[in-house]
Structure 1
Amino acid sequence: METTSRVGTQSAVAEGAAQAAPSARRTVDGYLLAPFPWYGLDEAFTGPRWLMQVGATADGSVEHGSIGHGEEPSVRGEETIGNSDNERFTVVVTVAANPVRRTADGTGVLEATSVSSAAWLAGVGLLSYTWPGQMDHTLRDDWLDQQTETAWVLADDLEGADWSSLSLPVDGVPTPFHYRESEYGWVIAGSTKESVHLGAYGRGMSPYGLGFSVVQDISAYA
């Protein structure tokens, strides 16, 4: 994942922050414009499901989006993470597998999306629900920039020591994923046979028991 793609994906940082706002949710219109299938947890999960937000290019082409499962989280400080039974959620990020992505003006080419793209979006998404304890609100932007850069570096080295491997079912088929934990929660990333990459992040729900499947009717989530 080269730095050339950073120009095209830095908007995901703002998206991650927007995901924390309920007003940014509940619209299915963007999801319906996607030319790729959306993924969520499979039927083994029987709890609440909720739409979040899609990410699109300058020309309106939908490239990725997120679907939440479980209790809708709020932004939490380090001292409160893990201390609440209500902090149980998983967010599934679907990223279109685009081998060629052009810049908004059509004069250049961005790096293709990859598993690293899904890992980075999931990492930034998890950060959007985290607030360091004892930090002044005016400093959070600096903290978020720093942590976003760290998430980028980690996503660029999926074979590194910070990641482990696990196998989870995707449409019933065992599929390899990259997995890491942090003090804020966990992140996983992998690919499917449906030309999309999957990322996921969460807290309070073990990733080892999860399974993923295509969402048959995204409108039902609205």
Structure 2
Amino acid sequence: METTSRVGTDGASRAVTAKGAPTARRDVDGYLKAPFPWYGLDEAYTGPRWLMSVAAAADGTVQHGSTGHGEEPVVRADAGAERSRFAVVVTVGNSPVRHSGDGTGVLEATTVSSAAWLAGSSLLAYTWPPQMDHILRGEWLDQQTETAFELADDLGQAPWSSLSLPVDGVPVDFHYRESEFGWVLAGSAPDGVYIGAYGRGMSAYGLGFSVIGDIASYGDRASYGH
């Protein structure tokens, strides 16, 4: 896959803590600094929308980030967490081959595989077998994350299939896969950015994506239909 490391597709740290739990940053400022548009579910979705987090390179350039829809997933191994219904949209900027922010190396270009990797690994942060303690969970997460990386590296083979969904009203072919943890998809938007998505309890079939006109509207956890 066209990445230099699995901490991110662009040298940026993944938006998870050392234990795999997603960070809780909800500051819209990071989103506003992005040089690309953000995507979310289109207006056909009328449920809650909320901010997640953004990731930036060493020089501060925003590289990718996520917006949430539905019930905020809980990082907890109980029945309530399993019942959470959500869909997260990951927007990845189109970045060419470039030097790393610290000047010590070269970062490869982002691709659809970058979006697939970010979506697949992020889904795992919310899921783990309930009988595991935190130590075993770390080992499980490392193993499953490696699998997600390998799957994102070969989008033309099973378990990936093709799923056509609208992006700003234009049909786009996405790479799509399901697992016991939820579903993952990845594709390219007409304007050149890459879209990844993952979810559980909400079917990916019938979803649509669109550019978010006002990202600040996602800052209110109770916002609907923005």
CA spacing shift, 1:48–1:161, aligned 2, 3 Å: same
Aligned-pair Cα RMSD in Å: 2.1
Deviation at 1:209, TM superposition (A): 1.0
Specify the code of the residue in structure 2 equivalent to 1:37: P
Q: Could you say which residue in structure 2 is the equivalent of 1:26?
A: 26
Tell me which of 187, 190, 208 is aligned to 1:190. 187
Question: Is there any run of 5+ residues in structure 2 with no aligned partner, and where?
Answer: 220-226
Moved more, 131-140 or 198-207: 131-140
Alpha-carbon displacement from aligned partner over 1:69-122 (angstroms, at most 9, x marks no partner): 001111244x848963xx211000000011223223224321100000000000
Q: Distance in 2 between the 1:2 and 1:177 partners? A: 18
Question: Is there any run of 5+ residues in structure 1 with no aligned partner, and where?
Answer: none
Tell me which of 3, 12, 15 is aligned to 2:14. 12
Q: Could you say which residue in structure 2 is the equivalent of 1:199?
A: 196
Deviation at 1:205, TM superposition (A): 0.7
| Structure 1 segment 37-76 matched on structure 2, within 5 A | 37-76=37-76
- SS at 2:63's partner residue? strand
| Structure 1 segment 1-222 matched on structure 2, within 5 A | 1-2=1-2, 4-6=4-6, 9=9, 11-12=13-14, 14=16, 17-19=20-22, 21=23, 24-77=24-77, 80=79, 84=83, 87-222=84-219
Q: Retained in 1: the 8 A contact 2:2–2:109? A: no
Give the paired residue count. Answer: 216
Deviation at 1:18, TM superposition (A): 4.7
Per residue, is there more helix in 1 or in 2?
Answer: 1
Q: Could you say which residue in structure 1 is the equivalent of 2:223?
A: none
Q: Distance in 1 between the 2:122 and 2:82 partners? A: 20
Q: Retained in 2: the 8 A contact 1:98–1:113? A: yes
Deviation at 1:126, TM superposition (A): 0.4
Q: Retained in 2: the 8 A contact 1:13–1:124? A: no
Q: Distance in 1 between the 2:116 and 2:165 partners? A: 16
Q: TM-score scaled by structure 2?
A: 0.89
Q: Retained in 2: the 8 A contact 1:5–1:110? A: no
